[in-house]
């Protein structure tokens, strides 16, 4: 059963230690109201407590001093607040900040905060490691540990707000460690927590999910009414080349992914890491433009982050600019992003790889791409 399901009506109190931060705000409201009613507490306490989960978060119930002492003590027993422990924080000269978080079981994940003008974009992780093994990704080199809970995903935002409310991200992108759509139940709940006015209240158009194209969950994301953004890790415009870079191509073929995207009612972004002499040739640009055209997709061209993928060569700056010009010459909307955090090992998973040993793949379901 997913962790964000509402307790059954006949269960008037939650199980001891319920992870309330993994519930959607609506489900959390129900759980709190039932628990408070069973205690004989006034109904207005529900709103008071709910506001302390995400809108005006507290690190522990002791900090909610507007509540009676006995109620705070019992809340700590019934609804302990899950926290992430900051293991390492690095600040780049360009303002990019990377945090390595330690989870309750000792595993580690990363978040990256990227300021740009009035925007503060937080890149969040959805899994400990990743089993997909994309050759250009540092996370793929560490293997797969486990899925994150909805609370562990949303806490990457919550912890920043606890540190300083001014750090609250304006934008959230699921582009950190892991494949979000292989952890759909938790990501589904986390999307609601991030977006809901009773949650963290970040606009749906400011939240983007990045995926290699996991078709069953992609259809579920498309069915949601909110206008969440979608970015597809493409990295090659044809199946044969993509298969050499991304083993998932063996299971979810490019043609099937593109067909699924045609049913998506929002503009799609293609993420495309430029690799020297692999996918940066003129003919690759021509084919990429052909693939993007029916969807009206935006192409994000990304330099290979130094250190993120040993053995691969970044495209030369001149080659990247030529690739961009050729795409635009075909009428394709495209931008060439600049690398951020070059001085702090900000490639996805790079800090975790440097600090801790490789994970063992624990889930054959996630690992199997044949």
Q: Is 110 a catalytic residue?
A: yes
Lowest mean pLDDT across 86-95, 105-114, 227-236: 86-95
Long-range contacts of 352-358 (CB under 8 A, 24+ apart): 352/100, 352/108, 352/109, 352/110, 352/129, 352/138, 352/139, 352/142, 352/177, 353/138, 353/139, 353/141, 353/142, 355/87, 355/88, 355/100, 355/108, 356/108, 356/142, 358/141, 358/142, 358/143
Could you please report the per-residue DSSP string of 286-309?
Answer: HHHHHHHGGGT-EEEEEEPPTTSS
pLDDT category of residue 308 using cuts at 50, 70 and 90: low
Lowest mean pLDDT across 11-25, 182-196, 211-225, 300-314: 11-25
Burial of 319 (0-12, 13-18, 19+ CB in 10 A): middle
Which pLDDT belongs to residue 266?
86
The mean pLDDT of 96-122, rounded to a whole number, is 95
Q: Is residue 9 included in any domain, yes or no?
A: no
* DSSP annotation of 226: S
Residue 300 sits at the vertex; the CA angle it makes with 227 and 347, to the nearest 5 degrees, is: 100
Which pLDDT belongs to residue 356?
54
Q: To the nearest 5 percent, what fractions of the chain are helix, strand and coil?
A: 40, 20, 45
Domain range for residue 286? 85-367
The whole-model pTM stands at 0.89
Number of domains in the chain: 2
At 119, phi and psi to the nearest 5? Answer: -90, 140
* Residues 68-106 pLDDT 10s: 999 999 999 999 999 999 999 999 888 899 999 999 999
Which pLDDT belongs to residue 16?
60
Q: Which residue has the higher pLDDT, 242 or 368?
A: 242
Lowest mean pLDDT across 73-77, 117-121, 268-272, 359-363: 359-363
Q: Are residues 73 and 93 in the same domain?
A: no
CATH number of the domain enclosing 41: 1.10.150
Q: Is residue 110 included in any domain, yes or no?
A: yes
Lowest mean pLDDT across 13-27, 96-110, 259-273: 13-27
Closest alpha carbon to 358 in 47, 108, 39, 14:
108
Q: Are residues 57 and 166 in the same domain?
A: no
Q: Is 137 a catalytic residue?
A: no
pLDDT category of residue 139 using cuts at 50, 70 and 90: confident
Q: Are residues 44 and 152 in the same domain?
A: no
Beta strands at 207-211 and 171-174: parallel, antiparallel or unpaired: parallel
The mean pLDDT of 342-353, rounded to a whole number, is 50
Which pLDDT belongs to residue 367?
44
Q: Are residues 164 and 304 in the same domain?
A: yes
Mean of pLDDT over the chain: 89
- Catalytic residue, chosen from 41, 107, 110, 179, is 110
Interatomic CA distance for residues 141 and 57, integer angstroms: 35
Q: Are residues 45 and 90 in the same domain?
A: no
Host H or E run for residue 211: strand 207-211
């Amino acid at each position: 059963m997913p962790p964000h399901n509402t307790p059954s009506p006949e269960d008037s109190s939650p199980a001891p230690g319920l992870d309330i931060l993994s519930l959607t705000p609506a489900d959390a409201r129900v759980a709190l109201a039932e628990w408070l009613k069973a205690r004989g507490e006034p109904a207005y306490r529900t709103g008071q407590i709910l506001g302390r989960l995400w809108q005006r978060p507290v690190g522990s119930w002791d900090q909610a001093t507007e509540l009676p002492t006995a109620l705070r003590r019992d809340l700590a027993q019934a609804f302990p607040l899950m926290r992430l422990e900051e293991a390492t924080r690095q600040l780049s000269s360009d303002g990019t900040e990377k945090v390595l978080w330690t989870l309750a079981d000792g595993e580690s994940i990363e978040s990256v905060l990227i300021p740009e003008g009035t925007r503060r974009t937080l890149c969040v992780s959805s899994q400990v490691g990743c089993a997909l093994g994309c050759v250009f990704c540092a996370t793929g080199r560490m293997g797969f540990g486990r899925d994150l809970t909805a609370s562990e995903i949303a806490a990457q935002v919550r912890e920043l707000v606890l540190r300083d409310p001014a750090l609250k991200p304006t934008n959230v992108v699921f582009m950190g460690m892991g494949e979000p759509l292989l952890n759909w139940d938790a990501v589904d709940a986390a999307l609601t927590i991030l977006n809901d006015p009773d949650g963290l209240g970040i606009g749906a158009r400011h939240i983007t999910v990045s995926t290699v194209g996991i078709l069953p969950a992609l259809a579920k994301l498309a069915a949601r009414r909110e206008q969440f953004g979608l970015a597809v890790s493409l990295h090659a415009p044809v199946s044969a080349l993509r298969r050499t870079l991304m083993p998932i191509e063996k299971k979810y073929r490019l043609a099937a992914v593109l067909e699924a995207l045609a049913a998506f009612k929002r503009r799609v972004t293609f993420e495309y890491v430029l690799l020297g002499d692999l996918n940066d040739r003129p003919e690759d640009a021509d084919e990429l433009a052909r693939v993007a055209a029916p969807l009206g997709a935006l192409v994000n061209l990304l330099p290979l982050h130094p250190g993120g993928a040993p053995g691969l060569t970044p495209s030369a700056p001149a080659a990247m600019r030529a690739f961009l010009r050729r795409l635009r010459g075909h009428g394709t909307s495209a931008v060439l992003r600049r690398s951020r955090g070059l001085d702090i090992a900000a490639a996805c998973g790079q800090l975790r790889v440097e600090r801790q040993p490789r994970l063992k793949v624990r889930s054959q379901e996630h690992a199997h791409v044949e």
